[in-house]
Structure 1
Amino acid sequence: MRAVSLDHFGDPDVLDVTTRPDPSKRGGDAVIAVKAASVNPSDVKNVAGQMEGTVLPRIPGRNFAGVVVEGPSDWIGAEVWGTGGDIGFRRDGSHAELLALPETALARKPERLSFEEASASGVHFVTGWLGTVVKAQLAPGEAIAVFGVSGGVGGAVAQIADVIGAHVIGVDRVRPAGHTPAASAIDEFVALDGSPQDIAALVKERTSGHGVNVVFDAVGGVTTAAALASLAHGGRLVVISAVGTRTVEIDLVDLYRNETLVIGCNSADLDVVESSALLNRLTPYFDSGQFRPLPIAGRYSLDDAKDAYRAVAGHIKGAVVIQP
């Protein structure tokens, strides 16, 4: 098979397309013909050596959608999708023609989604569901501010919160475009512009001065001060990233007086089997049309994988997909 190969860390130019032996079905494994595999910011960070635990040489790629060609008889020919914090990091990933995974990781693709759309959805919605539902336990009627709402994870969180029945405030530099799923999921928008106090004041203005019950900060670092200041008493801050700086100053007196809960959410801790369990919970929402993926912004062949990675590194709006 042909696959993207990562032998040493660096910018996207370190990637090569090589010929590898086809993965074979071992005990408990299945083999998938990859029809589409998105490129995510975590894939770009992985190539750059910024992710922990990656063992080289490696085929990168965290998300996928494809067809089972080897495995249990009742799965042969099934259209599947998946993601996982181990794929492309501790085991070979999806930027290849074939992908071997445990049979227990197989999850049937939502019928409503194309292979491209399914491949672009996994990590966004797994991270969003993990942080919003499992960890923050967002409840109907609560208010949530989604920092970075125009991105993949932020847009997923907005849709999840909307389905839960929360009041959704999107926060970003630019309002989500009208054709994006996030645009229809948010109730109000606050521009990520000005001081942390200015941003927090606008968030509180939209919640009758109370602040939000949950902030899902898909940016982090440069936005942490504004995120904390936007919370109501007893609010929960979910952090998944750190942009610009890994360290921030926090007024501990304000923190404990407000009874703020800070929650770290790392979907990379979920392997492909654990992630498939969450995807199975998400599938009905996609098939009903309640959840929608990011629009596809770019389609690339394996030979153009470097360009696909460069597009994501350049913060392209929308999903980038490799089609092996």
Structure 2
Amino acid sequence: MNALQFSRTGDLAALACVELPVPVPADGEVLIEVKAAGLNPSDVKNVLGRFPYTTLPRVPGRDFAGVVVEGPQALLGKAVWGTGKEPGFFRDGSHARWLTLPASGVALKPAALSFAQAASLGVPYTTAWDALQRSQVNAKTRLLVIGGNGAVGSAALALGRVLGAQVLGAVRRPEQQQALAADGFDSIVLGQPEALAGQVDAHFQGAADVIFDTTGFWLPASVAALATWGRIAIIAAPVDGQVQLPSLALYRKGGSVVGINSLLYDCQACAAMLDQFGRFFDQGLLALPTGLVESPLSEGLARYAEVNEGRSDKIILMP
């Protein structure tokens, strides 16, 4: 089968297009014909060696959508989608023609989503869903999403709206604000960190109950914009991993910081999440993804390089 594979880490020259045998599913597993696979920044970082627990040689790729061709009778011929911490790290991933996974680690694909659309959502939407769930977002929540124009941030805004929260995005540039407005989301343009609390208060007429910082740079400023008993969810940090936290102000508010890491969840846990929010697409409550760039798997090396250089389009590899 056609696949991308790396046998060492450190630079993208380690990645190659190869021919591999079709994998054989073990007991309790399914063989999936991959129809589309998402390319995430974490896939690129994996080849670069940012995840020391990755076993080699390895086919990368976390997100996928495809059809089950071997496995339990109930899943044969079914369109499925999935993601998780194992593919691409501890077992071969989705950037290949075929993929094996535990049968309990796949979810039925929402009918409203094409294979490419489904493959674009795994990591961003499970990350956003986990952040909202663990931060206890509900219909009474005033939710601020910093970096609301990014893949995870836009997913958090969309899911927050479905959950009934009052949602507000925060972006760097006016054109990003205009893009969110076109999708029906209010937003603010970030300025100086000390101005954030006033900007949030002006919109919510009070502080935010939950602040989801997807950028890694706004944790200290978020404390001032946080309501009593509020929660700050984070998925990123500065390069050195350090930040100066105004802990006095945080504990006086009874506030808490929630760390969000999608690589804590195996395929089974992710399948449960996909089932939970996937129904929103079939119910018409979540907009279908647009602007995807579909690319043949044979051009995957070039696509990896583009993502490494900062390309922001969502790239879907088509085996």
- Same fold at TM > 0.5: yes
* Residue of structure 2 in register with 1:29 after alignment: 29
For the pair 1:158 / 2:154, whether they are aligned, the reply is no
Question: Structure 1 28/320 Cα, relative in aligned 2: closer, same or farther at 3 Å?
Answer: same
Deviations 1:219-275 (A, max 9, x none): 11x222222232112210001112444111012211111211101111111111111
Deviating above 4 A after TM superposition, structure 1's stretches of 4 or more consecutive aligned residues are 175-180
Q: Report how far residue 26 of structure 1 moved.
A: 1.7
* Residue of structure 1 in register with 2:203 after alignment: 206
Quote the Cα distance in structure 1 between the aligned partners of 2:58 and 2:204. 48
For the pair 1:266 / 2:266, whether they are aligned, the reply is no
* Residue of structure 2 in register with 1:195 after alignment: 192
* Residue of structure 1 in register with 2:252 after alignment: 257
Quote the Cα distance in structure 1 between the aligned partners of 2:120 and 2:177. 18
* Residue of structure 2 in register with 1:145 after alignment: 144
SS in 2 for 1:206: helix
* Residue of structure 1 in register with 2:212 after alignment: 216
- TM-score normalised to structure 1 length: 0.93
Alignment of 1:106-117 (within 5 A): 106-117=106-117
Quote the Cα distance in structure 2 between the aligned partners of 1:293 and 1:53. 34
Equivalent in 276, 279, 285 of residue 281 of structure 1 = 276
SS in 2 for 1:85: coil
Quote the Cα distance in structure 2 between the aligned partners of 1:177 and 1:197. 20
**Counterpart residue identity of residue 68, structure 1:** V
Quote the Cα distance in structure 1 between the aligned partners of 2:313 and 2:224. 29
SS in 1 for 2:75: coil
Question: Structure 1 10/299 Cα, relative in aligned 2: closer, same or farther at 3 Å?
Answer: farther
* Residue of structure 1 in register with 2:310 after alignment: 315
SS in 2 for 1:74: helix
SS in 2 for 1:99: strand
* Residue of structure 1 in register with 2:41 after alignment: 41
For the pair 1:303 / 2:298, whether they are aligned, the reply is yes
Question: Structure 1 90/62 Cα, relative in aligned 2: closer, same or farther at 3 Å?
Answer: same
Quote the Cα distance in structure 1 between the aligned partners of 2:188 and 2:239. 21
Question: Structure 1 242/226 Cα, relative in aligned 2: closer, same or farther at 3 Å?
Answer: same
Deviations 1:88-125 (A, max 9, x none): 11111000000000111121111000100000011111
- TM-score normalised to structure 2 length: 0.94
**Counterpart residue identity of residue 101, structure 2:** L
Instruction: Please provide the CA RMSD for this pair.
Output: 1.8
Quote the Cα distance in structure 1 between the aligned partners of 2:294 and 2:13. 18
**Counterpart residue identity of residue 136, structure 2:** Q
Question: Structure 1 199/311 Cα, relative in aligned 2: closer, same or farther at 3 Å?
Answer: farther
Question: Structure 1 141/318 Cα, relative in aligned 2: closer, same or farther at 3 Å?
Answer: farther
SS in 1 for 2:113: coil
Question: Structure 1 40/183 Cα, relative in aligned 2: closer, same or farther at 3 Å?
Answer: farther
Question: Structure 1 117/177 Cα, relative in aligned 2: closer, same or farther at 3 Å?
Answer: farther
Q: Percent identity?
A: 36
For the pair 1:87 / 2:68, whether they are aligned, the reply is no
CA contact (8 A) 1:159 1:185 kept: no
Quote the Cα distance in structure 2 between the aligned partners of 1:127 and 1:69. 29
CA contact (8 A) 2:83 2:267 kept: yes
Quote the Cα distance in structure 2 between the aligned partners of 1:291 and 1:315. 27
Runs of 5+ unmatched residues, structure 1 = none
CA contact (8 A) 1:152 1:318 kept: no
Q: Report how far residue 154 of structure 1 moved.
A: 0.7
SS in 2 for 1:199: helix
Deviations 1:272-317 (A, max 9, x none): 1111111111221011121235424422212211222223223333
Q: Report how far residue 9 of structure 1 moved.
A: 1.4
**Counterpart residue identity of residue 141, structure 1:** K
Aligned length, in residue pairs: 318
Runs of 5+ unmatched residues, structure 2 = none
Q: Report how far residue 2 of structure 1 moved.
A: 1.2
